[in-house]
Structure 1
Amino acid sequence: MPDPDPPIHRLEEQPPVNDVVLPLEGVRVVEVAQVLAAPYVASLLGDLGADVVKVERPEGDLIRPTDALLRAGGSAYFASANRNKRYLTVDLKDPVDRRRLNREIAECDVLVTNGRPGAVHRAGLDYEAVRALRPDVVYCLVTAFGESGPRCEEPGMDLTAQALAGLMGTTGEPDGPPAKTSSPVGDYSAALFAVQGVLAALYRRTRTGQGAKVGVNLLDASLAMLGNYVPQVSVTGVDLARVGSGHQQLVPYQAFPDAHGEYFVVACLTQKFWELLCTAIDRPEWRRDTRFLTNTDRRNHRALLVGELTALFATRPRAEWIALLGARGVPTCEVNSLTQALEDPQVRHNGIVVQTPPDDVHGVYRFIGNPLLLDDERLPVRSTAQPLAPLPRSALQTGAG
């Protein structure tokens, strides 16, 4: 039987890369990007076996100094998006450095970059300039708002994308201010869409020899996260109101506080789960109450029903409610803090949390590995984020410069 409480997966326990056939082995990626979305694209490609060279300006990625939690010129924020890479320091204004970078680009399969379109063009990293160096390149550009349009040259980031896309406007308590999601979902969703595009372009290139330009922006990716609500709004003409931890379309489907103010969730996704809930909490009459008969009825009487449930659930500890509801088949669980989530038995069993070995560079820290399983195995982490330093000349392409 599996260990019911396995230890946190340690980096030194990752299978050696030579023992694993990774799908992108032999693919070379050059990343000229910073902050989160585009570097995470390159990191995910590195997870899949690509040889990734991260190109940084002499002062380093903007998020290297975001916090002082890791030693040697790194931050916890930076480490989250920069595993499985080599590092190259390049001053784009220096002719020698630029020739070195151009040689790297000429030999790469994928170029990942980000920034405002004008700045990307001035840096000589636009698609036409890169394609002149490598005609069949798969070029991936991540922008904040797109490559054209009224906002394309404005500075943008996850927060502004969440604000414009409606994520903030639909998140938060009904009587409170709009709230950003705790996760930078604009950055991460853009990265996931971009990786999908890169992989599709690489596949097409194997059949046609044709390169591609992959474009993703944070605004579109953030708006895509609200895709389940767009048909509803277009049909009803009614905008979404903030409902706290509740769901815009399903009731009850939210967190409730227990007798001690600790939260747990009740998720009645279907009518069956609603009826099971009525039985579990000894409210069989609610199954016949015309105010609560269907999900539409329950949504129309959200305040009344949620008020009744809130009062009821405040009478006992959440462990009792979870046991009672779970035994009846009602979807429920505790609301964890991040620290509690990292110690959750299922999370530990899954092995998604990786701990670095002790070293003199960044110390010991945990990070989240790639969620993908390949042939029932996790992708190996071959290297973590490294200090800012030029690659040795032997690691660069040979030639004048």
Structure 2
Amino acid sequence: MLGSIRSHQSSAATARRQNFCHSATLASNPYPKIENLQKSVDVCAKLITDRDGHKEVIGLSINRPLTIGRNPERSFYVIPDSSVSGLHCTIFAVRSPSGGVIVSCQDSSKNGIILNGHRIKKTSVILMNGDSIRIPDSLTFTCTHVWKDPVEKISVFDPTPPPQPARKHIGHYVVTSQCLGSGSFATVHLALSMDRRCQVACKSIRTKKGHRDELGQVMKEIKILMGLNHPNINRIFDTQEDQHFIHIFLQLCTGGDLFTYINSFTEKDCKMDEDEVKYIMFQLLKGLVYLHDKMISHRDLKPENILLHAPGPYPRIQIADFGLARPKSYQETFNVCGTVSYLPPEGILALDQKHLGYVGMPSDCWSAGIILYIMLSGSHPFDYDAPSDSCNACICAVRPA
């Protein structure tokens, strides 16, 4: 009887794999059948492996996780090898804030996975174009992105990002040229922590001559934030400084940001579930209470600065981007900073009347209320006639706090 069950499972797994791969995915709920992987607009990335001498191509679609493991009831792509756990790992694909795609792998196994030669265990990693993941003593998968982010601007990898991934050793970290995001003052690159054996995000801020006092203040605030340790606050692991950059090594989040997550609902002409909004808001307020208890205000809370630790519904969120954070925030500040459409009324008044000030902690609470409204309604509570770019502009005054 036991042999019959094993034989049935093996046959089912073989048939499942044959229908799933080689330019087609299995017609099984919730995964749609893709007759031609190369032409399908649903496929944003591919996993390619060589199995029993045959090339197999697995298509990944947005918000349709792919499970890999030994147990046919728990895994969509079944590998019967003894070294493979029942549910070994889950591959996610979500939209990135820059318009491309974030592909991540969440390890759930006992013996981990090998990412580009480095062992990863019980954590989530981002798979960039060309990365390989290997299940120990089993298959190796190569990730290929069909959708790609726009070409990034000049960054720490001058003069331009190389066509092939490059690496630089900075302290105890290996920083790659794979850019996760960029702004006016900084770029964020994917890095590997040699001590923690996990991926991290490296935020590199370009330094300017004649601004050493300002940079000293930045480093002072970073050191304060390095003392923070809360599940809903993006953790700073370390900092390094050289002649041209300040490098901040941050906890990596693989689920994108809250702004993109909210947009995924509005694109489908639906709204977030109220229970999920409650869960996200509960985490946001817990993070704020932790910050405010330490007399630190964020001063730039908005969905773009709230990261999802991993993809999927009811995500764990982390408050990020503390570039405008301020210690001793019980004191009134005359330095108006943040994003205009999330400023409280007293902050808006202080833009035009320089003698007016406001306190950072109540401002954070106002911003949190706007975020709650956006999650529930899918729109901003205040309409502006100005273009959207100006609404999201960061206003930094020159007067000292």
Q: Please confirm whether the aligned pair reaches a TM-score higher than 0.5, indicating the same fold.
A: no
Q: Relative contact order: is structure 1 or structure 2 higher (C-alpha 8 Å, sep ≥ 6)?
A: 1
Q: TM-score range by the shorter chain?
A: under 0.3
Q: By percentage of residues, which structure has more helix?
A: 1
| TM superposition score normalised by structure 1 | 0.27
Larger Rg: 1
| TM superposition score normalised by structure 2 | 0.27
Q: By percentage of residues, which structure has more strand?
A: 2
